[in-house]
Structure 1
Amino acid sequence: MGEEKSTTEYSIKQVGDRYYPVIIDREAGGHYEINNPLTGGILSYNNPEAAEKYVQRAREKQT
């Protein structure tokens, strides 16, 4: 039997000078922005390295 592949991935979307970690749901055919629990807004960074660190931590928690 084949290994089941996750249909959810994390990625980074750039809009202007901001970087948004997003959840990509292949099964649903879309992506979701992540809410910032401190501000109630959308989580974003002005530094691509910080956004990548967030994505790495999220991937580690998922497994």
Structure 2
Amino acid sequence: MAARKTPAPATADPEPAKCPTCHGSGEVFRTVRVGRKRRTVGQQTGLCLNCLGSGEAPTG
């Protein structure tokens, strides 16, 4: 009897690398300061300009 051949396991596409600036979230946080003494009152979110909000590391 001939040996059975098992099909090669399906290889999944590798997950794209995460953006180092936003860590894959697509958003960056900025501290908001107010007043003459520059008191911290919170954080503001914005679009990551490195990956333009996609969360993937830019190539090239």
TM-score (norm 1): 0.27
**Structure with bigger gyration radius:** 2
> Which structure's relative contact order is higher, taking Cα pairs within 8 Å and 6+ residues apart?
2
